[in-house]
Structure 1
Amino acid sequence: MGKIIKKIRIINFKRFKELELPFNDIFNVFVGDNESGKSTILTAINLVLSASLNKIDTLGLDSLLNIEAVKEFMTTDKKVENLPVMCIELYLNDQDNIDLNGKNNLDKIECDGLKLVCEPRSDLGAEINEVLRQDNPVFPYEYYAIRFRTFADMPLNNYKKYLSHMLIDNSSVSGEYAMREYTKDIFKNNTVNIERSGYQNKYRLYKNAFTNNVLSKVNGRLNKYSFRLKHNSKYNLETDITICEEDINIEDKGKGKQCFVKTEFALNNNANLDIILIEEPENHLSHINMKKLVSLIANTGDRQLFVTTHSNMISSRLDLRNLVLMNSNGNLPTKLKDLDENTAKFFMKAPDNKILEFILSSKIILVEGDAEYILMESFFKHVTQNSLEESNVHVIAVGGIRFKRYLDLAKKLQIKTAVITDNDKKYQENCVDNYNDYSQDGLIKVFSDSDNERYTFEVCIYKDNTSICEMIFGPRRKVLSVQEYMLKNKAESAFNLLSENSEGFIIPNYIKEAIEWINE
């Protein structure tokens, strides 16, 4: 095993007042709603590993320090000693480096690690007091200092890095700054300091040679003025260099291709990276390129990856046991590392599994097929007078044979789940005994018609609404009866029933009971 981050501890950073989160050795896949903290974790890791004050300045301390901590301080007596401190600590595996090992961490244990601390400057106490005594004072961000240290309390800077890493932010792929920073990081991670210094020197020589040999003719006509190539911190080798694929500049390719090339380049075994951070790798990718990218990520080797995603494919193909579920409601992240191995492998292979929609929901109705799915929103509105969205209920069609795979997740994540299923002429066996292991805690309940003669959804619809079904489907029947037609054309029949919007339509009682239960 190479160099890895074992866990992170955060105090007062962005949305987290306090967080302790252990990591997997290889894959860490963060999923969750918007503003749940997925990107915050990657930003925290990136800031510590970069050890760059410029990155802090670019982001702005006012956007990094936890807003709740700031508000709480501003509503108190505003004493300097009570000002909030921001801290990010990365606990590493054994690096065999005495400069990393020590007890300079929140856990007060001897181990290897890196940290970022942002706190008020102790030498400016009087000035901070003066600011806080003003009428309607503002928070004194300007009087804070940033320190990067190891757990051995050694200084940490971007010239001496203990882990090589790369952040690939595909959410901002079109930004010129993002692309330039990415290329610069790739260049730095594939060269050493002394090598880069030599390249920079030669690049300046080439620029001077161009000025002296090529521009000399026009400069000879300009009297006291002359043309010269720019060379400063904004115009140097690292800002001018770019990445090409088959002699085509990556910036001249489409956004989807840029995303793919950036990720592929970083995952290349020659990239010399310990840690790879990837923001939303699915952005701008077609389905086929998404599959290629997932395969590329899955075969990354022994480097540690941190990925944020909204993609069902990425979440399931990288193994649900590697997922970290982030919650926008403030609850602690949830990990699925103890999920049944067969269930995890099932979702790695299952098509169109809508897995994120399921695990990020609080209430779920699972149905067998398209017919039930098409009509469920109308049924729900009729029973509750509210829409599914208003009631925060999701409906997913999964197919009867897959119910238990989803229920394994529901049980672990404590998701209230109603299963609406056919009895297939064996109600007791198929709908009661079959789900005994899932109905103990009251969060999972199976609903089906208990009459074995009413063995499937279409039969129940027909028996409860015979006259309506005969009116809609009867005139066009030549060989099949209406019920036979509905059984052979389930989705089409459901769509026609929805389109007709017939008054007096009766919802089968077991479906009504399921809707009432999930809406409690």
Structure 2
Amino acid sequence: MIETIVIKNYKIFDDLIIEFDKGLNILVGDNDSGKSTILEVISILTSGNLNNYPLDRQLKPSFFNQTVRKNYIESIKRGSTPPPPKIILEAYLSKDDDPTFSGTNNELKKNCPGIRVTIEFDNSYASEYKQMIQEESIHDIPIELYKVTYSSFASATGKILFRNSPIKSILIDATHKNYSYMIDRFIGKSINDTLNGEEIISLSKAYRQNKTDFKENSIIENINRRLAEYSPISHCRVSIGLQEERVDAWKNQMTIMVKDIPLENIGFGTQNIIKSELALSNCSDSANIILFEEPENSLSHTNLAKLVSAIESTENKQIFITTHSSYIANRLNLNNLIFVNGSNVSTFRGLDTDTASFFKVLPGSDTLRIVIASKVILVEGPSDSLIIQRAYKDKKNKLPIQDGIDIIVTNGLTFKRFYEIAKTMNKSIAIVTDNDGDIEKLKGRYSKLMSDSNVIFSYEKNKDLKTLEPSLLSVNSIQGVPKESFVQLIYKGTSKPSTFDEVKDFMINNKTTWASRVFDAEQKINYPQYIEDVINEYC
């Protein structure tokens, strides 16, 4: 298993060290944060391939960290002769893995098994490099002068063979239709496990007989007769036939049929669930590491639940998952989360286990929103969310989400649970809540949150204004009489009773209706001080 990886100067990462769990690792983060790049690195370290092709055939300057690349180019332009930059990728394996891979040939000088991949300047091109500098012909990293070196931690000079590596991986990328490799493995294993030698030979004969029948078909014979008479190739006789193939070529013509439809012709979601189940099953025994790229892609909730259950029950494999799905993160335990934000990576191993268990039982909670957003405001209901968004827009002429501020609707029971997630990340949050007519009880219930400097805890200070509705109505009234403009807005121009209590009752009984009217209205209203405070102090 991979215990640690080191990444230097590769794509978004300049210098990164990540420690992994021996079982499940869930990589989360915003778009372009580096999650997929980590899967790429693991794939390279376990196979020497990137996107199923040898890494050394795909080298390009964009592989290098942007800052490193820019500094190198600018240095060349200034007339300097800097050493060409180098990419280093390392996988540190558990100590009980292959001892022939053990040593200290690594960046951390740690004595353990491991694999090291470097993308570096090939010194055999030193004279060419010197000439290019003299001719001022270098405008980017001269990747054509580079080499890829694969070595174990045992020796910097002994190149490894990946077929002998103690770690092997399978990548399931749910964002692309790459199913052929998994199908070939499944079909090959199915044939070998279920057929004896004689049956395999019989199948091979039947396949070759079909090819013979095709060649002797009267239509093919007719084509070949005409070619013999009118062929543009005059110096020799030509005809059309089938290619010669190796003895087991018939296996390559087989596919998985789903309800009598070839797998490649069925829906993308069904393809993904089948690929994932095959990777988790015994047909991938040779791979002890499984990489999932956004497994939720194109899956219905039911199939996603099935996939998560299959992942949960998988043993003796190390699994890496990139995801934007709170359901996956919650069900597979938030303690396995790794938050990736460029070279800033944090784990959730320190998250309170009761909180992780809470969200595992209630996986529908939007936990990843609080993880990914730059700032978060927790509220009790949709009407609170709409009013805070409108108050923010009135003040800043844009919605809070445009500034990376996410407003999450939850309930008072989960405030503490979301707070524990934010605390693990050392992230500041804001909480807006009703006082429910008992401020002392509110303070007792949330004393821990109120005393945390990373929490803006905002509520109505007048205990008689128990919820948002009377609070908002109060600041839009004059001496206890609701303003006519506010009444018209709440009722949307309809003639209705307009005493304070009547309007309040309507608002309490139609929370989303009146809040939506305020949110969409052209006119501005007044907002309770506790809502103004959270915008001024937190946003």
Question: Structures share a fold, TM > 0.5?
Answer: yes
Match of 2:400, SS state, is coil
Call closer, same or farther: CA 1:355–1:510 in 2, change over 3 Å.
same
Aligned residues of 1:79 and 1:129 also touching (Cα < 8 A)? no
- Whether contact under 8 Å (1:33, 1:360) holds in the other structure is yes
Decide which moves more: 99-108 or 80-89: 80-89
RMSD: 3.2
1:369 CA drift (Å): 0.4
Post-superposition Cα deviations, 1:10-58, rounded to whole Å, max 9, x if no partner, equal: 1111211111100011111111111110000000111121124843156
Q: Is the 8 A contact 1:170 1:279 kept in 2?
A: yes
Q: Which residue of 2 aligns with 1:420?
A: 432
Contact (CA 8 Å) 2:215, 2:242: kept in 1 or not?
A: no
**CA distance in structure 1 between the aligned counterparts of 2:118 and 2:200, rounded to whole angstroms:** 33
Kindly indicate whether residue 167 of structure 2 is the aligned counterpart of residue 163 of structure 1.
yes
Matched residue, 1:9? 6
Residue equivalent to 1:435: 446
Distance 2:191 2:168 in 1: 11
The whole-number CA distance in structure 2 between the counterparts of 1:271 and 1:483 is 63
Contact 2:25 2:321 in 1 (8 A): yes
> SS where residue 364 of structure 1 aligns?
strand
Q: 2:283 aligned with 1:262, yes or no? A: no
Match of 2:337 in 1: 323
Task: For 1:146 and 1:34, locate their aligned partners in 2 and report how far apart those are by CA, in whole Å.
Answer: 29
Q: Which residue of 1 aligns with 2:502?
A: 481
Q: How far apart are 1:210 and its partner, in Å? A: 5.0
Q: How does 1:193-272 map to 2 (within 5 A)?
A: 210-212=210-212, 214-216=214-216, 218=220, 221=225, 223=228, 224-230=237-243, 240-245=253-258, 247-272=260-285
Residue-by-residue CA offset, 1:376-434 (whole Å, 9 max, x unaligned): 2111112334431343321111112211111112222222211110011111330x343
User: In the alignment, what sits opposite 2:392?
Assistant: 380
Aligned to 2:24: 27
**Residue number in structure 2 paired with 1:516:** 536
Q: Aligned letter for 1:307?
A: I
| Aligned partners of 1:51 and 1:156 also within 8 Å | no
Is the Cα contact below 8 Å between 1:44 and 1:88 reproduced in 2?
Answer: yes
**In structure 2, do the counterparts of structure 1 residues 111 and 228 end up closer, same or farther at CA, with 3 Å as the change threshold?**
farther
Of 224-233 and 448-457, deviating more is 224-233
SS at match of 2:416: helix
Cα distance, 1:187 vs structure 2:
6.6
Structure 2 partner of 1:288: 302
Q: SS state of the match for residue 29, structure 1?
A: strand
> What is the identity, as a one-letter code, of the residue corresponding to 2:55?
I
- 1:151: which partner in 2? 153
Unaligned runs of 5+ in 1: none
Tell me the alpha carbon deviations over residues 242-267 of structure 1, each in whole angstroms, 9 at most, x when there is no partner: 33345532111101111111111111
Tell me if the contact between 1:420 and 1:446 (Cα under 8 Å) persists in the aligned partners. Answer: yes
Change (3 A) 1:158 1:216: farther
Structure 2: runs of 5 or more not aligned: 229-236, 477-481
The answer for the alignment partner of 2:231 in structure 1 is: none
CA distance in structure 2 between the aligned counterparts of 1:237 and 1:314, rounded to whole angstroms = 39
Aligned counterparts, 1:13-412, within 5 A? 13-52=10-49, 54-57=53-56, 59-76=58-75, 82-138=83-139, 139-153=141-155, 154-173=158-177, 178-184=178-184, 210-212=210-212, 214-216=214-216, 218=220, 221=225, 223=228, 224-230=237-243, 240-245=253-258, 247-272=260-285, 273-327=287-341, 330-350=342-362, 352-412=364-424
Q: TM-score if structure 2 supplies the norm length?
A: 0.84
* Equivalent pair of 2:98/2:166 in contact (CA under 8 Å): no
- For residues 191 and 114 of structure 1, do their structure 2 counterparts lie closer, same or farther at Cα, with a shift above 3 Å needed? farther
Q: How far apart are residue 89 of structure 1 and its match?
A: 0.8
Counterpart of 2:459 (choices 445, 448, 465) is 448
Residue 441 of structure 1 deviates from its aligned partner by 4.8
Confirm or deny: 8 A CA contact 2:13 2:343 kept in the other structure. no
- Would you say how many aligned residue pairs link Structure 1 and Structure 2? 503
Alignment partners' CA distance in 2, 1:200 and 1:67? 53
SS in 1 for 2:384: helix
Measured at CA, do residues 160 and 334 of structure 1 come closer, stay the same or move farther in structure 2, by a change above 3 Å? same
Change (3 A) 1:142 1:255: same
TM-score w.r.t. structure 1 length?
0.87
- After superposition, the Cα gap between the structure-2 partners of 1:67 and 1:464, relative to the gap in structure 1 and judged at 3 Å, is closer
Distance in 2, Cα, partners of 1:451 & 1:489: 23
Identity of aligned residues (%): 28
CA deviations 1:121-173 (Å, max 9, x no partner) are 12221112222332241321011111222222343234434223200111112
- What is the alpha-carbon distance in structure 2 between the residues aligned to residue 413 and residue 294 of structure 1? 25
Q: What is the letter of the counterpart of residue 419 of structure 2? A: L
In 2, the alpha carbon distance for the partners of 1:427 and 1:326 equals 39
Separation in structure 2 between the aligned mates of residue 305 and residue 332 of structure 1, nearest angstrom: 21
In 1: Cα distance, 2:334 partner to 2:444 partner: 28
Q: SS where residue 419 of structure 1 aligns?
A: strand
Structure 1 Cα separation of the partners of residues 497 and 182 of structure 2: 64
Distance 1:200 1:145 in 2: 43
User: In the alignment, is the contact (CA less than 8 A) between 1:190 and 1:271 conserved in 2?
Assistant: no
Q: Is the 8 A contact 2:182 2:279 kept in 1?
A: no
**Aligned mate of 2:519, from 488, 491, 498:** 498
Q: Is the 8 A contact 1:366 1:398 kept in 2?
A: yes
User: CA, structure 1 residues 486+142, in 2 after alignment: closer, same or farther (shift >3 Å)?
Assistant: same
Query: Is the Cα contact below 8 Å between 2:183 and 2:256 reproduced in 1?
Result: yes
Evaluate the alpha carbon distance shift between residue 438 and residue 189 of structure 1 in structure 2; reply closer, same or farther with a 3 A threshold. Answer: farther
Structure 1 or 2, whichever has the larger Rg, is: 2
CA 1:211–1:117: 2 relative to 1, 3 Å: same
- Evaluate the alpha carbon distance shift between residue 50 and residue 299 of structure 1 in structure 2; reply closer, same or farther with a 3 A threshold: same
The DSSP-based 3-state class of the residue aligned with 1:395 is strand
Deviation per CA, 1:93-148, whole angstroms, max 9, x where unpaired? Answer: 13453322222221222211112111111222111222233224132101111122
Q: Is the 8 A contact 2:48 2:55 kept in 1?
A: no
Distance 1:128 1:188 in 2: 48
Q: What residue identity is the alignment partner of 1:335?
A: T
- Contact (CA 8 Å) 1:167, 1:182: kept in 2 or not? no
8 Å CA contact 1:116–1:149 kept in 2: the answer is yes
What residue in structure 1 maps to residue 234 of structure 2?
none
Please identify, of 259-268 and 152-161, the stretch whose mean Cα deviation from structure 2 is larger. 152-161
Question: CA distance change for structure 1 residues 190 and 214 in 2, over 3 Å: closer, same or farther?
Answer: closer
- Distance, in Å, in 1 between the alignment partners of 2:135 and 2:250 is 48
Output the CA distance in 2 between the equivalents of 1:13 and 1:232: 41
- Which region of structure 1 is more displaced relative to structure 2, 262-271 or 84-93? 262-271
